[in-house]
Chains A and B, each alone.
Chain A
Amino acid sequence: MTPELDIEPGSSHAYHTGDWRTRQPVYRNKWPPCSQTCPASEDIQAWLALATEQQWQAAWRKLTERNPFPATMGRICYHPCESACNRKHLDSAVNIHAMERYLGDRAITRGWKHKAVCDTPQTQRVAIVGAGPAGLSCAFQLARQGYPVTIFDAQAAPGGTLYSAIPDYRLPKSVLAKEINAILALGIELRLNSRVGKEISESDLRDQFDAVFLAIGTQRPRQYLTKESSKHSVMSGLEFLHRLNRGEQIALLSKRKSKQVAVVGGGNTAIDVARCVRRLGAEVTVICAQDSHGNHHRELGTEMPASRQEVIEAETEGVQLIYRAGVCRLVRSGEHLSGIEVAHVDQVYDRHGNFNPVLFDGTEEFVPAGLAIFAIGQEADWQGLERLSQATESEGVWLGGDAVSKSKLAATAVGSGYQAAMSIMARLKGESFVFDDHKKAQITFRQMQLHYYPKQPRHEGETNEQRLDGFNEVVTGLADDDAAHEARRCLSCGVCFRCDNCWHFCPDAAVIKTTADYEIDYNYCKGCGICAQECPCGHIDMERLND
Chain B
Amino acid sequence: MKTNAMDKRDAFRHNVLTSGHRACSGCGEAMAARMVSDLIGPDAIYINATGCLQVFTTHNQQSAWQAPWIHSVFANAAAVASGVEAALRAKGKGTPVVVQAGDGGTFDIGLQCLSGMIERGHDVLFVCYDNEAYMNTGVQRSSSTPHAVRTTTSPPGRLSQGKHHLKKDVISIIAAHHMPYAATATIAYFPDLKAKVEKAMRIKGPRFLQILSPCPLGWAHDSALSVTVSRLAVETGLFPLVELEHGELTGVMRLAEQKPVEEYLRPQGRFKHLFGSKTGAVELRHLQALADARIRHYDLLDADTQWDTERAMQSARHGRGGYASSMPTSEAVKNDA
Interface residues of A (CB under 8 A from B): 3-4, 7-17, 20, 52, 451-454, 456, 485, 488-492, 497-501, 503-510, 512-515, 521, 523-524, 526-530, 532-534, 536, 542
Q: Does B50 contact A (CB under 8 A)?
A: no
* Given A13-B18, A529-B222, 19 extra CB contacts under 8 A: A7-B61, A8-B63, A9-B66, A10-B6, A17-B21, A452-B321, A454-B319, A488-B319, A489-B319, A497-B322, A500-B322, A513-B330, A521-B19, A523-B19, A528-B216, A529-B224, A530-B226, A533-B228, A534-B227
Q: Does B10 contact A (CB under 8 A)?
A: yes
Nearest CB on B from A14, distance (A): 6
Q: Does B72 contact A (CB under 8 A)?
A: no
CA distance A45 to B187 in the complex (A): 30
Residue of A nearest to B227 (CB): A534
Q: When the two chains form the complex, which single residue of B216, B224, B320 contacts A491, counting CB atoms closer than 8 Å?
A: B320
A-B contact pairs, 20 of them (CB 8 A): A10-B66, A12-B21, A17-B20, A454-B314, A488-B319, A489-B319, A489-B320, A497-B317, A497-B320, A498-B317, A498-B324, A500-B317, A507-B226, A515-B337, A526-B25, A528-B26, A528-B224, A529-B224, A530-B223, A532-B224
Contact, CB under 8 Å: B31 / A505:
yes
Contact, CB under 8 Å: B61 / A509:
no
Contact, CB under 8 Å: A499 / B224:
no
Interface residues of B (CB under 8 A from A): 6-7, 9-13, 15, 17-23, 25-28, 30-31, 34-35, 57-59, 61-67, 187, 190, 216, 222-228, 310-311, 313-315, 317-325, 330, 337
Contact, CB under 8 Å: A7 / B63:
yes
Which residues on A sit within 8 Å (CB–CB) of B227?
Answer: 505, 530, 533-534
Nearest CB on A from B214, distance (A): 10
Nearest CB on A from B197, distance (A): 13
Which residues on A sit within 8 Å (CB–CB) of B62?
Answer: 7, 11-12, 14-15
Q: When the two chains form the complex, which single residue of A7, A490, A505 contacts B187, counting CB atoms closer than 8 Å?
A: A505
Contact, CB under 8 Å: A9 / B26:
no
Which residues on B sit within 8 Å (CB–CB) of A497?
Answer: 317-318, 320, 322
Which residues on B sit within 8 Å (CB–CB) of A15?
Answer: 20, 22, 59, 62
Nearest CB on A from B256, distance (A): 9
Which residues on B sit within 8 Å (CB–CB) of A454?
Answer: 310-311, 314, 319, 321
Which residues on A sit within 8 Å (CB–CB) of B322?
Answer: 452, 497-501, 536
Binding site secondary structure of chain A: loop
Q: When the two chains form the complex, which single residue of B30, B31, B63, B225 contacts A11, counting CB atoms closer than 8 Å?
A: B63
Which residues on B sit within 8 Å (CB–CB) of A506?
Answer: 31, 34
Q: When the two chains form the complex, which single residue of B313, B321, B323 contacts A504, counting CB atoms closer than 8 Å?
A: B323
Contact, CB under 8 Å: A509 / B6:
no
Nearest CB on A from B210, distance (A): 19
Q: When the two chains form the complex, which single residue of A451, A485, A499 contacts B315, counting CB atoms closer than 8 Å?
A: A499
Q: Contacts A3-B61, A454-B314, A507-B34 hold; do A12 and B320 have CB atoms under 8 A apart?
A: no
Contact, CB under 8 Å: A509 / B34:
yes
Residue of A nearest to B26 (CB): A528
Which residues on B sit within 8 Å (CB–CB) of A504?
Answer: 35, 190, 323
CA distance A16 to B7 in the complex (A): 16
Contact, CB under 8 Å: B320 / A501:
no
Which residues on A sit within 8 Å (CB–CB) of B35?
Answer: 504
Residue of A nearest to B334 (CB): A515
Q: When the two chains form the complex, which single residue of A503, A505, A509, A533 contacts B18, counting CB atoms closer than 8 Å?
A: A509
Q: When the two chains form the complex, which single residue of B7, B30, B65, B323 contacts A499, counting CB atoms closer than 8 Å?
A: B323
Contact, CB under 8 Å: A508 / B320:
no
Contact, CB under 8 Å: B319 / A527:
no
Nearest CB on B from A397, distance (A): 46
Nearest CB on A from B213, distance (A): 10
Contact, CB under 8 Å: B59 / A12:
yes
Q: Contacts A17-B20, A500-B325, A509-B10 hold; do A7 and B25 have CB atoms under 8 A apart?
A: no
Which residues on B sit within 8 Å (CB–CB) of A505?
Answer: 31, 187, 190, 227
Q: Contacts A9-B6, A12-B21, A13-B20 hold; do A530 and B324 have CB atoms under 8 A apart?
A: no
Which residues on A sit within 8 Å (CB–CB) of B315?
Answer: 499
Nearest CB on B from A323, distance (A): 40
Nearest CB on B from A164, distance (A): 41
CA distance A489 to B27 in the complex (A): 33
Nearest CB on A from B188, distance (A): 9
Which residues on B sit within 8 Å (CB–CB) of A513?
Answer: 10-13, 330
CA distance A506 to B17 in the complex (A): 12
Which residues on B sit within 8 Å (CB–CB) of A9?
Answer: 6, 63, 65-67
Nearest CB on A from B143, distance (A): 25
Which residues on A sit within 8 Å (CB–CB) of B314?
Answer: 452-454
Which residues on B sit within 8 Å (CB–CB) of A451?
Answer: 310, 313
Q: When the two chains form the complex, which single residue of B23, B59, B321 contacts A507, counting CB atoms closer than 8 Å?
A: B23
List 9 A-B pairs, minimum CB-CB distance, nearest first: A499-B322, A529-B224, A12-B20, A528-B26, A524-B19, A453-B321, A12-B64, A507-B30, A452-B321
CA distance A173 to B205 in the complex (A): 73
Q: Contacts A13-B18, A528-B26 hold; do A499 and B320 have CB atoms under 8 A apart?
A: yes
Which residues on B sit within 8 Å (CB–CB) of A485?
Answer: 319
Nearest CB on A from B163, distance (A): 26
Which residues on A sit within 8 Å (CB–CB) of B226?
Answer: 507, 528, 530
Nearest CB on A from B64, distance (A): 4
CA distance A57 to B34 in the complex (A): 41
Which residues on A sit within 8 Å (CB–CB) of B325?
Answer: 500
Which residues on A sit within 8 Å (CB–CB) of B17?
Answer: 509
Nearest CB on B from A303, distance (A): 33
Nearest CB on B from A82, distance (A): 18
CA distance A430 to B251 in the complex (A): 69
CA distance A261 to B318 in the complex (A): 50
Residue of B nearest to A451 (CB): B313
Nearest CB on B from A547, distance (A): 16
Nearest CB on B from A239, distance (A): 48
Residue of A nearest to B317 (CB): A499
CA distance A289 to B121 in the complex (A): 82
Which residues on B sit within 8 Å (CB–CB) of A10?
Answer: 6-7, 15, 18, 20, 63-66
Interface centre among A3, A20, A508 (most CB of B within 10 A): A508
Interface centre among A488, A507, A530 (most CB of B within 10 A): A507
Nearest CB on A from B295, distance (A): 19
Interface centre among B61, B315, B318 (most CB of A within 10 A): B318
Residue of B nearest to A20 (CB): B25
Which residues on A sit within 8 Å (CB–CB) of B13?
Answer: 513
Q: When the two chains form the complex, which single residue of B10, B12, B223, B318 contacts A528, counting CB atoms closer than 8 Å?
A: B223
CA distance A20 to B317 in the complex (A): 34
Which residues on B sit within 8 Å (CB–CB) of A490?
Answer: 320
Which residues on B sit within 8 Å (CB–CB) of A532?
Answer: 224
Residue of B nearest to A8 (CB): B63
Nearest CB on A from B232, distance (A): 11
Contact, CB under 8 Å: B21 / A499:
no
Which residues on B sit within 8 Å (CB–CB) of A514?
Answer: 11
Nearest CB on A from B268, distance (A): 15
Interface centre among B57, B319, B337 (most CB of A within 10 A): B319
Residue of B nearest to A512 (CB): B10
Which residues on B sit within 8 Å (CB–CB) of A528?
Answer: 25-27, 216, 223-224, 226
Which residues on A sit within 8 Å (CB–CB) of B66?
Answer: 9-10
Nearest CB on A from B12, distance (A): 4
Which residues on B sit within 8 Å (CB–CB) of A13?
Answer: 18-20
Nearest CB on A from B229, distance (A): 10
Which residues on A sit within 8 Å (CB–CB) of B23?
Answer: 507-508
Nearest CB on B from A521, distance (A): 7
Nearest CB on A from B74, distance (A): 20
Nearest CB on B from A8, distance (A): 7
Which residues on A sit within 8 Å (CB–CB) of B10?
Answer: 509, 512-513
CA distance A508 to B187 in the complex (A): 14
Contact, CB under 8 Å: B324 / A499:
yes
Residue of A nearest to B57 (CB): A12
CA distance A506 to B34 in the complex (A): 9
Nearest CB on A from B21, distance (A): 6
